[in-house]
Amino acid sequence: MCSRPTSAWRMHKPPRERLPVWLRRAWPQSLLGRLSLVMVAGLLVTQLTASAIWASQLRAKAQVEAQSASLYMANGAAGAIRYFRSLPANYRLLQIQQLREMGGTRFFVNLNSSYVPVREIAPHPLARSVIDTIGAALKTDLPHSPSFHLAFAWPDQLVVSGDDVRLADLPDAWVQHILLLKPDPAPILVIQTEIEPGNWLYMAALMPNPYFLSGNDPLAWDRLALQGLSLAVVLLLCLLVVRSITRPLAALSDAAAAFGQDERAPPLPETGSREFINTARAFSAMRERIQRYIEDRERLFISISHDLRTPITRLKLRSELLDDESLRNEFEEDLDELDMMVKGALQCVKDSDIHENPAEIKLDALLGRLVRSAQLAGHTVAWQAAGMTVRAKPLALKRAVGNLLDNALFYGQRAEIRTYSAPGTVTIAVRDHGPGVPEDAFASLFDPYVRLAHGRERNDGGMGLGLGIARGIIEAHDGQLILENHPEGGLNAIIRLPA
């Protein structure tokens, strides 16, 4: 039988990185998800960085062009102000009328008796820079002039005179060659200054590049659409490449899992990249070698069982011919020990290498048979049906639970079996009412042929193999075997299987 456990045994996992909960939840578990996330994040960062650099360069270029255009507009506006200031007051309206009939000049010009309020466009850094540059240039060229009022306004909201006449109310001939109104309106620069008391010169004009405010916007919908389209195409291609890489790895993982559970999986297809083809060939060769090794091991132990039992039996017969009774007893003890070791080794190989197909198992039926067998043998076992099922190999699971129950009965005299479920798991707990275990030898709990003093006193015929066999069976089902001292005394052996 198996050795008495000596300490609480728990599954120790490697330390996880101390990451925020939201980051651990967002981090994908599959290789496809991780590669996709890394590539998407890399492309997005690259695209955003390139867009930021491009936008910075575009803004710098727009600033230089706007400064040059501002000086040009300021020079023209200063010349027009000088010209109208030099004309007699009676000739100014006549000159303005002649300019309108001729098709106008660069500026739409009007005379008003007072300042005309202008509804400005939304604040914009480049527009403010243009206004500041033109205002400073006008003050430099016309140092003795009163203050200048500059603003940008949209054509449909522009008022050109004090009697609330709007730009749209003027004849087309007056403005069609000066101000661009259709099809796409552009902001209009308005300059107002008092050339003499009670006479305000009103000038309106477009910048050399009328759309200078929108031309440097990196977030324009057409640019965003182009960048989004290119990013989507690149991401789609990257995802296709990543999927083509990870799909063979998933097939390799499934084949390895099937081989670990003794299932006959089809051979891996030798398609894809050269590295995967080499990996598939190496895995297939490894699987064949392991399979041959397992078959050779089975034949070896069968041969050992046959070859060793015959000389052991022969030696036992010959020991009966010894006259010295003490020497004969020593020979018989050694032969019994050798026979027990052979049986234990064969049991270990047999119980840890069970070839059967997984099936849906009703735990009540399986545990009920084990409990009834123990009760017929005179043992006390407490158990209550729970109506649970689990998918496993029937004989293998029966051997694992049977080994734990035998331990509990040998070392604790009476046992309790409980079954309960948790999200994703089904748990079978086998508790004894023995003295519990010390804390100084748990590292060797599952080593074969390791038995503590308490175990040897209660069961001198055991070989210390049952726990290792049980753990191997449970782990082959992707489960866990946890041994711990029960708070109320005794040992508690917990089997956790996937639901």
- Per-residue model confidence as pLDDT tens for the chain (499 residues): 444 444 433 434 444 455 577 766 777 777 677 777 787 788 788 878 887 888 788 888 888 988 999 999 999 999 999 999 888 888 888 888 888 777 667 888 889 989 999 999 989 888 999 999 999 999 999 988 888 999 999 988 888 887 888 887 787 777 776 776 667 788 999 999 998 888 899 999 888 888 888 766 666 676 678 778 887 887 788 778 877 777 777 777 777 777 766 666 677 777 777 777 888 888 888 888 888 887 777 777 766 666 777 777 778 787 787 777 888 777 777 777 777 667 666 666 655 555 567 889 999 989 988 998 888 888 889 998 888 899 988 888 888 898 888 888 887 778 999 998 888 899 999 988 887 777 776 666 666 655 555 555 555 545 566 777 888 888 888 898 888 888 888 888 899 999 8
**C-alpha to C-alpha distance for 463 and 446, rounded to whole angstroms:** 12
Q: Could you give the residue range(s) of every CATH 1.10.287 domain in the chain? A: 274-351
CATH match of 359-498 with 1.10.1060.10: no
**C-alpha to C-alpha distance for 354 and 368, rounded to whole angstroms:** 22
- Please report where in the chains the tokens 């080794």 appear, as a residue: 345
Which pLDDT score, from 0 to 100, does residue 70 have?
A: 92
Query: Which DSSP category does 437 fall into?
Result: -
Asked if 248 and 276 touch (Cβ cutoff 8 Å), the reply is yes
Which pLDDT score, from 0 to 100, does residue 468 have?
A: 76
Q: Could you give the residue range(s) of every CATH 3.30.565.10 domain in the chain? A: 359-498
Question: Residue 425 pairs with which residues in a beta bridge?
Answer: 422, 498
Which pLDDT score, from 0 to 100, does residue 344 have?
A: 62
Which pLDDT score, from 0 to 100, does residue 214 have?
A: 77
The radius of gyration of the chain's CA atoms, rounded to the nearest angstrom, is 47
Which pLDDT score, from 0 to 100, does residue 350 have?
A: 57
Which pLDDT score, from 0 to 100, does residue 11 have?
A: 39
Query: Which DSSP category does 444 fall into?
Result: G
The topology under which CATH files domain 274-351 is: Helix Hairpins (1.10.287)
What's this model's pTM, rounded to 2 decimal places?
0.46
**C-alpha to C-alpha distance for 170 and 162, rounded to whole angstroms:** 14
Which pLDDT score, from 0 to 100, does residue 257 have?
A: 77
Q: What ranges make up the beta strands (E) of 280-435?
A: 359-362, 380-383, 389-392, 414-422, 425-432
